[in-house]
Amino acid sequence: MNPILRTATLFFLATGIAGLGTACLPADQPNVLLIVCDDLNDYVEGYDGHPQTRTPNIQRLSQTGVRFLQAHCTIPICGPSRASFFTGIYPHHSGCFGFTRWNTYEVLNNSRTLMEHFGANGYHTLGTGKLMHQLDRKQWETFGNRADYGPFAFDGKQRVAHPDVPAPFREIGQIDGSFGPLVDFQDRTFPDGKQYRWLTGGWNDVQPLVPGVEGRAGMTADERNGQWAVDQLQSLAEEKSGRPFFMGIGFIRPHTPLIVPQRFFDMFPLDEIRLPEILEDDVADTYAHTVRGLPSEKEPSSERTADMGTRLFTQLAASYAESDEGLRRFIQAYLASVASVDEQVGKILDALEETGLDENTIVILTSDHGWGMGEKDYLYKNSLWQESTRVPLIIRAPGAAAPNTFCRQAVSLVDLYPTLVELCRLEGETRKTEAGHPLDGHSLAPLLSDPARGKWSGPEAALTALYKWRAKYDPSRESYSLRSEDWRYIRYENGKEELYRTSEDPHEWMNLAERPDLQSRLQEFREQLTNRLNSPKKLLVPPQPAWQPQEKSAAGQKTTERDAAYWKDRHFKKHPEADTDQDGQLSWPEFKAHKAKLDSEKTGKGK
């Protein structure tokens, strides 16, 4: 037999036998309930975020488990972050730094997702809402609702930003340029003469939403997912089959558009909103601008020159007479959105307690990444600073997690997978084939039982990569951050560096990278990053997806990555229906497929 084929055959036999061996579950194997919020930063009670945040139910959860105060994502943007922690694999090992469908990457497609591994171990796997950025229903035994970024205001022709948001911010679009209360527009007259109403659902599954009415027609997507989870928990408790479950619940808020019912806005009066501590000109000693576009004098708000976070910040300020009014209104909407999710968390916790499932159910609450609120003139995710990389992480594990405690050890979302493998005593190989990759993280179990002194086998610093659109990624040439309990080190793709002593400078205001007395510390972080990336020499590029954007423009000149992304974004704005999986992002395969369809239609008309 061919040696390669023989090796592959033995691998399949080994993993297959391991999978079969898990049909008989250990007694009292715990259930798992994983709650994932979208774009949730530290504006949560029990963390040091916004002082006015109101999350009594998340606080209630933390009182029964461990709060990780320095938990960080592996990459601060939705798609690749979720691909990473649901597979337990870092972006630099998978090659997944962007929004291409996660299962088109060879490494990820040949590795079990968290829900697949639970399913292989006999668990009933259930999910609803936004979990993986692109939904693959085959990953779940039971699935509820697709991701829905609504509500969206509808002006009779198209989805638009909330009509109360002024220009130029509203011109950013119906998702990122929109925030405000979900109110009935029926009796309102607008200066533009248009009559607005609300829609929700994906591009191919549009539904009206009527604020204030009873039943599904008046429910937001998060409310539908919260109710779905409650219904499922009640059914599971009644079944009493003895079969454990793994349930994932993905809430959209506080992802933009920040639109939730008025009652949540009423909790945070606008004139009482406190702004975050922002150091004037804090961005001056940073280097993120050297690897991303910033506004130019010729094009101060151009999509081709401005990074989204900078654009959101500058356009928000330009939309209101008072320089800080826009940020105040945006924070009000963000706090209201967080409070709306907290209400759903409370309903789920109530259902667990009422059914008695709480006695043997691990509950985890986290987010895919954080969100900056104007710090360093940046209003967005996708930076390597604290506001974007840090996420709330609360783990309640009956009998395994010390209640009402906290842990300061820097940890990563990539550690969730191996933690659940240990706590739930899952068996078998997580790779499907040799083309897959073993789990990168480390179990948090020792830190759950003893948050202050538990023996941590993982690294001292959490590793985070930065998303930047590329046709092909080279892990050795991307931008990264290392965050330990006392320090943050950033190395950008062009070699520029930032160093912060976070124990004394928690806001990361003072870049110490050029301090002569800290050069040895800087060198330690350089070596640590090199070792973490497994690249004493230049890293090999992980297998890339088969698709590639066109490299030539109509004029025959090589198209730059920035230009290619620009034209894709333009196409998305003009043809939102091109987003076939309704995830709010237009991937390159979707772009190419839709463009080919339009070209075909044009050709047909020409005939």
Q: What CATH number is associated with residue 110?
A: 3.40.720.10
pLDDT at position 364 is 98
Query: Strands 390-396, 245-250: parallel, antiparallel or unpaired by DSSP?
Result: unpaired
Residues 502, 422: one domain? yes
Residues 528, 565: one domain? no
Residues 512, 575: one domain? no
In which domain, by residue range, is 602 found?
Answer: 561-606
The per-residue DSSP string of 401-412 comes to S-TTEEE-S-EE
Within the chain, which residues score under 70 in pLDDT? 1-27, 203, 293-306, 535-541, 543-544, 546-567, 569-570, 573, 581-584, 599-607
pLDDT at position 293 is 57
- Position 250 in a domain: yes
pLDDT at position 556 is 36
Residues 493, 573: one domain? no
- Position 23 in a domain: no
Instruction: Output the CA–CA distances (angstroms, integers) from residue 236 to 124, 246, 360, in the order listed.
Output: 10, 11, 13
Residues 380, 487: one domain? yes
Residues 392, 285: one domain? yes
Last residue of a domain, one of 532, 552, 577: 532
Q: How many CB atoms lie within 10 A of CB 560?
A: 13
Helix spans in 410-502 (H): 416-423, 445-449
The structural domain count of the chain equals 2
- Position 389 in a domain: yes
Rounded (to 5) percent helix, strand, coil in the chain? 35, 15, 50
Contact in structure between 96 and 132 (CB atoms under 8 Å): no
Write the burial class of residue 175 (CB in 10 Å: 0-12 exposed, 13-18 middle, 19+ buried): middle
- Position 459 in a domain: yes
Residues 327, 447: one domain? yes
pLDDT at position 137 is 92
Q: Which helix (H) or strand (E) holds 343?
A: helix 325-355
Distance CA 443, CA 18 (A): 21
Residues 55, 112: one domain? yes
- Position 1 in a domain: no
- Position 58 in a domain: yes
pLDDT, tens digit (0-9, with 9 covering 90-100), for 125-179: 999 999 999 989 999 999 999 999 999 999 999 999 999 999 999 999 999 999 9
Residues 391, 465: one domain? yes
Residues 459, 574: one domain? no
Residues 235, 304: one domain? yes
Residues 571, 522: one domain? no
Last residue of a domain, one of 513, 532, 551: 532
Distance CA 287, CA 290 (A): 5
Last residue of a domain, one of 532, 552, 585: 532
Question: Rounded to 5 degrees, what are φ and ψ at 198?
Answer: -110, 140
What predicted TM-score, i.e. pTM, was given to this entire model? Answer: 0.86
DSSP state of 382: -
Instruction: Output the CA–CA distances (angstroms, integers) from residue 223 to 34, 46, 226, 227, 260, in the order listed.
Output: 17, 24, 5, 6, 10
pLDDT at position 472 is 87
Query: Strands 159-160, 152-154: parallel, antiparallel or unpaired by DSSP?
Result: antiparallel
- Position 251 in a domain: yes
- Position 581 in a domain: yes
Distance CA 250, CA 463 (A): 24
Write the burial class of residue 557 (CB in 10 Å: 0-12 exposed, 13-18 middle, 19+ buried): exposed
Question: Rounded to 5 degrees, what are φ and ψ at 319?
Answer: -90, -5
